[in-house]
A = this chain, B = another copy of it.
């Protein structure tokens, strides 16, 4: 069957990175389209395919859209189920993986963003919270090589895009997560050895430049 798969995203989006990694891990052939997010000039196709949120990443499979990155990973796992399963088969383990994905979704973007977009007390609180969130994740990782156990799985895909942002969080927030989260950092390095991950994650210097642009756009000194 001639599958037509299109991913519309933006290079710095940790959400888009997830979907790209999921496609790559499954060996799906897809067309990548970079969207002009920073100038808020997204293509008509994004606006048409994600009418409700008008956000990237948007995955289009044979003309039909799938929105929201976590749902995209689940979708990719279901459709291309013959290779590299992301979610475990046991319902309790599946529920736990979905729980950690939801935890990452609820916590990490919000306090990560504050490391470069806020100052003073708000910044200090965000740094503390970020370290707590990462320590909680590290504790869930435990001594396993991946959140998925011996294999790179669903939670790994959901979290790894944020790892590429850690240098920016640390630089602009002027703090370090490494002393308290060394095991989590080692997990990130381990994931980066995978070709699919290395390909999807951006370079830190490029990200620093992008955050400086964002700070200007949002008027953050």
In the assembled complex, which residues on chain B have CB atoms less than 8 Å from the CB atom of A75? 91-92, 94-95
For the complex, give the distance between the alpha carbons of A66 and B91 in Å.
10
Please report the C-alpha to C-alpha distance between residue A16 and residue B99 in the assembled complex, in whole angstroms. Answer: 16
With a cutoff of 8 Å between Cβ atoms, the chain B residues found around residue A102 in the complex are 68, 71
List A residues 49-101 near B (Cβ within 8 Å). Answer: 52, 61, 64, 66-68, 71-72, 74-75, 78-79, 91-92, 94-95, 98-99
Q: Does A32 contact B (CB under 8 A)?
A: no
CA distance A193 to B102 in the complex (A): 33
For chain A, which range describes its interface: under 10, 10 to 19, 20 to 34, or 35 or more residues? 20 to 34
A133 to chain B, nearest CB (A): 10
What residues of B have a CB within 8 angstroms of the CB of A136 in the complex? Answer: 52
A92–B71 contact, CB under 8 A?
Answer: no
Asked if B79 and A98 sit within 8 Å, CB to CB, the answer is no
The docked-state distance in angstroms from the alpha carbon of A52 to that of B96 is 12
What residues of B have a CB within 8 angstroms of the CB of A71 in the complex?
Answer: 95, 98-99, 102
A175 part of interface (Cβ distance < 8 Å): no
Q: Are A99 and B68 in contact (CB under 8 A)?
A: yes
A109 at the interface (CB under 8 A from B): no
Query: Any chain B CB within 8 A of the CB of A103?
Result: yes
> In the bound complex, do residue B66 and residue A78 qualify as a contact, i.e. CB atoms below 8 Å apart?
no
**22 A-B contact pairs sorted by A residue (CB < 8 Å):** A52-B99, A52-B136, A61-B92, A64-B92, A66-B92, A66-B95, A67-B99, A68-B98, A68-B99, A68-B102, A71-B98, A71-B99, A71-B102, A72-B95, A74-B94, A74-B95, A75-B91, A75-B94, A75-B95, A78-B91, A78-B94, A79-B91
- A interface with B by C-beta (< 8 Å): 52, 61, 64, 66-68, 71-72, 74-75, 78-79, 91-92, 94-95, 98-99, 102-103, 136
